Structures are given as C-alpha cells and as structure tokens.
C-alpha cells in the first residue's frame, strides 16, 4: 500500500495513503482528543474538538476528516490548536446541563474528561439553553436532550450498526435536537432497545432506565425471598467498573459481592443457558426429523426478537420458541425451585444481572409468564450492578472469590459460559446435538469455526452422519443478508444464530462503557476480544463442557420436566412471538 511522509509535532511519520490525520496520529501513539468521532461509524468533524494546525494552513482543520498529504506538517498541541479546541468545548458546555454530580456518566463522561484535559473551569458563554426533551416511557432507555452534544454518534450507530435509523437530527439552528421522528418516544418507533446508542453516547444524554430502587425494596422486604442470577458476559465486564483491566474475569468477586448485598440465593444464568440448549437443541432435531420450518433461528437475544417482529414478521415461524436463558431460569425458580423449598412463588423475587438493556423490555412481555407470575421481576445492567455494589458500601478490592450457591440450580457447564460471545450459542448447541446424534461422548468440543469477531460466520458440521450448514451473525446489518436469503427461499442453512449486538452479549448495551478514545486507540483496541477471551478461558477450565452433561439439568428433567420438549417443558420454557407495528407516531 502506498505510504505518505509527514510530520506531526516535529516527528517524522509514515502513514497509509487515505488515512486521516487522526488515524495517522493514533497509529503512532499521538493523542488528539475527539468527541463526535467513532471509529468505523462516525467521523463528521461536527464537534470541532479534534482541531489541529497544519503549517501554512489558513484555518484549523478537523483531524478526523482531513486526509494526510505528502510533506504535510501537523501541530496537535500548538497554542492556536489548543485554543481552538478549548473554545469548541466551551461552546458545547454553554448549552449543556451541568448536573454532573448526579449524572450516571459522572467520571465516565467524555465531555467531562475533555474539560479536565483542556482546563475548562468556568462558564465562559452563558445564555439561553435549547428547550430540552426528557423521555423515559420505554422499558429500557432514557433520553435527556439537555445533555446531548449533537455529536451524531447515536444516529450513525443505529443506522450503520443496526440498519434501523430511528434517530435523527430535528429542527434547525439553536433548536436542533436528536430523537425519534417528530420527537416521539422510543416506544413509538421500531426500536430494538438494544442500547448500542447508549454505550456509544459520549455523555449522559442516553442512559438505561434504572431499576436499582425496586431491587433494594425487595432486599429489604422480610417477606420476599430474593434470588439473583448473572449472565455469562457480565463476569467479563463488571470488573471494569471498579478499575480492573478490560476483560478481567470476576466470577468469584461478583458472587461474593452479590451475596454481601443480601440476596438469599446467588446463581448463574449459565444453568439457564444449559437448559436452553436442551430445549433449543431438541426443537432443532424435531424440525430436521419432521420436516419443520428451517433454517431455525436462535431466540435468546431480545433485541433481535424485537427486530424480527418489526422488520421481518413473515420470518417468525423460523424462530425457536425457546425462551431466553434468564427467563427459563426464572420460570424454573418459581415452579421447581419453589416447590422443592416449600416457598410460595408470590413470595419469590427474581433479579437478573444482564449485559443487555433489551432484557428490561423482555421481562414485561405478556408471553413470558409462568401462570400468573412473571418469570423475572427485575433486570439490572452490568453498570447498575456495579452501582448497587457501591451503594451498599462493599469494598470490591477486598472481596474474596466465592462460588455460586450449589443447590438445585447451581451447576453449569462451559457451554453455558460461552453464550455471552457471538457464536457461543451455536457452539454450545452443536456440542449437545452432535453428542446426542453421534451416540457417544464428544471428544472434541471446540468448534473453532463458530468463534471470532466477524459479522457473519458460516461452517459445515458433520452431525450424526449428516452435514449441517450453519451461520452466525451479530448486529442487524450483518444479519440482514441472511434474512433476505431466507425470505427469498434461497438460504442453504439449517441453523442460524443471531445476536442483536456486535460481538454478542460481551458488547451488550448494558455493559461497562469504554470511552471512544480508549475503544479506538491503541490501548483499548480489541476490547470485545478481551472480554470474549475471558469466557472461552473459563469454558476451557470447566470439568463439564457439554450442556447435556450437567447433572442438575439431568435431575431437573428426571424430577420435574420429564424430557426435553415435553408438554411441561413447552408450557414453562417456550413462548411465542407476533408481528409488531413498525411505527405508531400519528
């Protein structure tokens, strides 16, 4: 590839032709601050925070949009560049809600960091503020335009990552704001509630709806037995909220912290993941053997479920009817576990710690109930879990490593752990299905073709003397070509895993937020891979790695459910989906 020679701050630099000044600088460890820039998604230069001076240039230029040129001399820290950046930030702050101390993004806000870096201490420009919109009607996302900096990152994320584009700039000039069409709410449009807009917002304009107070009320209610379960991806991100390196596995500390919070039982959703594989795998086999609708789609990602209900309702028969792991777990807690412990289900309160904002809407689905009781009572994101632990005054660094409660629902396999990464559900299903159809213990449990960060992965797997063609996609832009092929009747696949978020749950909308400068820069490059590695490392260390080998799963079927796909299992562990109106804005 052709190279370009230039100087940055007096250093001789070689850059690839076509790179921007920002890309060339970061590739050489030179820091240029940004706000609107998001690698591979947004580089509009709208915020004017990445201004640099180019020798003999008439005006300061935005580093994120200006391509390098042969012989160019760039100054990132000249007096003129620093003054220009500071003015840009001061102007942004002039229309910004400054309730930083009570904001969820306090100490993890990119605008706050810029003010610190550039020495913005005073309100230099005071005056009228744009009339704000505060909207919290949706189950998972809160929008507060008084904190919006008009960077456009949420707009481009929704459009380019999920292919929806429900957000846009409205009005003009001083009255410009970001939101769904006609400034309606997230409930009124075809929003996935995935939360990718939230984790890519640099400030507190978009946040998750907080449910900590409901959980605290339950913990303080002497008549409630409060049970908590944690999704596999949470262990790979929660430590980041306490200053630990990205991708540190904190399974033991997490269990100890939740027990210290006062939960009556601390379990792992991995048990529910193993149970999901039993039901979903059985459903797949029945479809193959009985000429059912194929390819079958996985159904454990609620953001993906919302997407197909809005965008591809004609493909709903392809969805597995299996509930997601945490919903299955909740259903079993309020039936089997309640019966074994002689506790009335109405006195049980189930809390799910999830990497996903869409789980907050999932628990409110009328189809996801067991009799008169909801399967799960409250969902906290990874970030909310950290806030709960801090609220209770627990010293994270001093916590020992503890195990989950062992009784009835405490065992899980490595297959359950990898559910948190894209391709993990497929690999877990293949382990059980292949072992069942081959009729012998699976000697090689690693299906490497299912792993990695590619948006779409495909493979052929020999199972029971048959060749299964499988595909895996994460994010809706990656999934769309697969869906279009199914719609056209041209799909060659038998089984397709689809996750709503790029990389799967490890990059869910409820995970720890990594500032864009670290996400895009050299130090934070590969944050999804680091979280993914934590899950595969735990899987590798597990004594059991095939879901059907879980002894407590076997006991559950023997004592209560009968067999996978039984009438009782269908009643408790399966659900249905229906077409949703794409727009409801008039």
280 a catalytic residue: yes
Q: At 448, list the tokens.
A: 């490497």
Q: At 469, list the tokens.
A: 């063609």
Point out the catalytic residue in the list 103, 115, 261, 505.
505
- Is residue 77 classed as helix, strand or coil in its secondary structure? coil
201 a catalytic residue: no
Q: At 15, list the tokens.
A: 């850059």
Point out the catalytic residue in the list 300, 356, 368, 501.
300
367 a catalytic residue: yes
Point out the catalytic residue in the list 23, 135, 240, 280.
280
Q: At 39, list the tokens.
A: 């690698």
Point out the catalytic residue in the list 367, 460, 563, 567.
367
135 a catalytic residue: no
Tell the residue number behind the tokens 């009228």, with chain if given. 128
Q: Which of 217, 211, 218 is nearest to 348 (CA)?
A: 218
Backbone angles phi, psi at 200, to 5 degrees: -105, 0
359 a catalytic residue: yes
103 a catalytic residue: no
320 a catalytic residue: yes
Q: For residue 52, what is the enclosing H or E element?
A: strand 51-54
Sign of CA dihedral 142, 147, 152, 157: negative
Rg (CA), the chain: 25
Tell the residue number behind the tokens 């269908």, with chain if given. 570
Angle, nearest 10°, between helix axes 302-311 and 476-487? 50
DSSP tag of 299:
-
Tell the residue number behind the tokens 């998750």, with chain if given. 208
User: 13-21: long-range contacts at Cβ-Cβ below 8 A with a sequence spacing of 24 or more?
Assistant: 15/68, 17/68, 18/67, 19/67, 19/68, 20/63, 20/64, 20/65, 20/66, 20/67, 20/68, 21/52, 21/61, 21/63, 21/64, 21/66, 21/67, 21/68, 21/72, 21/74
Backbone angles phi, psi at 381, to 5 degrees: -75, 170
110 a catalytic residue: no
Whether residue 322 contacts residue 301, with contact meaning beta carbons closer than 8 Å, is answered with no
CA–CA separation, 513 and 531 (whole Å): 13
CA–CA separation, 23 and 27 (whole Å): 6
Query: Annotated active-site positions, please?
Result: 280, 283, 300, 320, 359, 362, 367, 505
């Amino acid at each position: 590839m052709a190279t370009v020679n230039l100087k940055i701050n007096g250093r001789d630099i070689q850059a690839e032709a076509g790179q921007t000044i920002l890309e060339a600088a970061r590739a050489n460890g030179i820091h240029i601050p940004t706000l609107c820039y998001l690698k591979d998604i947004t580089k509009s230069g709208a915020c004017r925070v990445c201004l640099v001076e180019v020798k003999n240039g008439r005006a300061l230029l935005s580093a994120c949009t200006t391509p390098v040129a042969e012989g160019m001399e760039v100054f990132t820290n000249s007096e003129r560049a620093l003054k220009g950046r500071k003015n840009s930030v001061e102007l942004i702050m002039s229309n910004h809600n400054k309730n930083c101390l009570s904001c969820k993004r306090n100490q993890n806000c990119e605008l706050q960091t810029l003010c610190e870096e550039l020495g913005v201490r005073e309100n230099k420009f005071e005056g009228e503020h744009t009339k704000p919109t505060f909207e919290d009607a949706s189950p998972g996302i809160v929008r507060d335009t008084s904190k919006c900096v008009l960077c456009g990152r949420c707009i481009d994320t929704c459009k380019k990552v999920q292919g929806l584009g429900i957000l846009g700039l409205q009005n003009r000039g001083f009255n410009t704001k970001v939101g769904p069409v006609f400034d309606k709410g997230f409930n009124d449009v075809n929003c996935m509630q995935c939360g990718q807009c939230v984790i890519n917002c640099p400030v507190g304009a978009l946040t998750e709806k907080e449910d900590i107070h409901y959980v605290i009320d339950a913990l303080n209610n002497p008549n409630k037995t409060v049970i908590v379960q944690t999704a596999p991806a949470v262990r790979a991100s929660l430590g980041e909220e306490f200053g630990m390196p990205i991708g540190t596995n904190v399974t033991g500390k997490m269990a100890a912290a939740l027990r210290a919070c006062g939960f009556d039982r601390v379990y792992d959703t991995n048990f529910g993941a193993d149970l999901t594989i039993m039901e979903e795998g059985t459903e797949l086999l029945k479809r193959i053997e009985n000429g059912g609708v194929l390819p079958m789609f996985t159904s454990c990602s609620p953001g993906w479920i919302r997407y197909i209900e809005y965008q591809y309702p004609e493909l709903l028969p392809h969805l597995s009817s299996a509930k997601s792991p945490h919903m299955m777990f909740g259903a079993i807690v309020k039936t089997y576990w309640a019966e074994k412990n002689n506790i009335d289900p109405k006195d049980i309160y189930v809390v799910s710690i999830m990497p996903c904002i869409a789980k907050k809407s999932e628990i409110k689905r009328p189809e996801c109930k067991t009799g008169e009781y909801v399967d799960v009572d409250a969902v906290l994101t990874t970030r909310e879990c950290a806030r709960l632990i801090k609220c209770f005054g627990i010293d994270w660094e001093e916590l020992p490593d503890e195990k989950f409660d062992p009784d009835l629902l405490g065992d899980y396999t490595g297959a359950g752990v990898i559910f948190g990464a894209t391709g993990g559900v497929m690999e877990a299903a293949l382990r059980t299905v292949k072992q069942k159809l081959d009729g012998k213990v699976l000697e090689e449990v690693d299906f490497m073709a299912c792993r990695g960060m590619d948006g779409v992965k495909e493979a052929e797997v020999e199972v029971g003397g048959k060749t299964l063609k499988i595909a895996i996609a994460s994010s809706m832009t990656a999934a769309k070509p697969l869906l279009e092929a199914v719609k056209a009747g041209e799909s060659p696949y038998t089984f397709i895993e689809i996750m709503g978020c790029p990389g799967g749950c490890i990059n869910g909308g409820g995970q720890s937020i990594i500032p864009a400068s670290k996400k895009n820069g050299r130090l934070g490059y590969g944050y999804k891979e680091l979280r993914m590695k934590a899950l595969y490392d735990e899987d590798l260390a597990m004594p059991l790695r095939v879901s059907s080998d879980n002894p407590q799963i076997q006991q559950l079927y023997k004592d209560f459910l009968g067999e996978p796909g039984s009438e009782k299992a269908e009643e408790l562990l399966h659900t249905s989906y229906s077409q949703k109106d794409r727009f409801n804005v008039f």
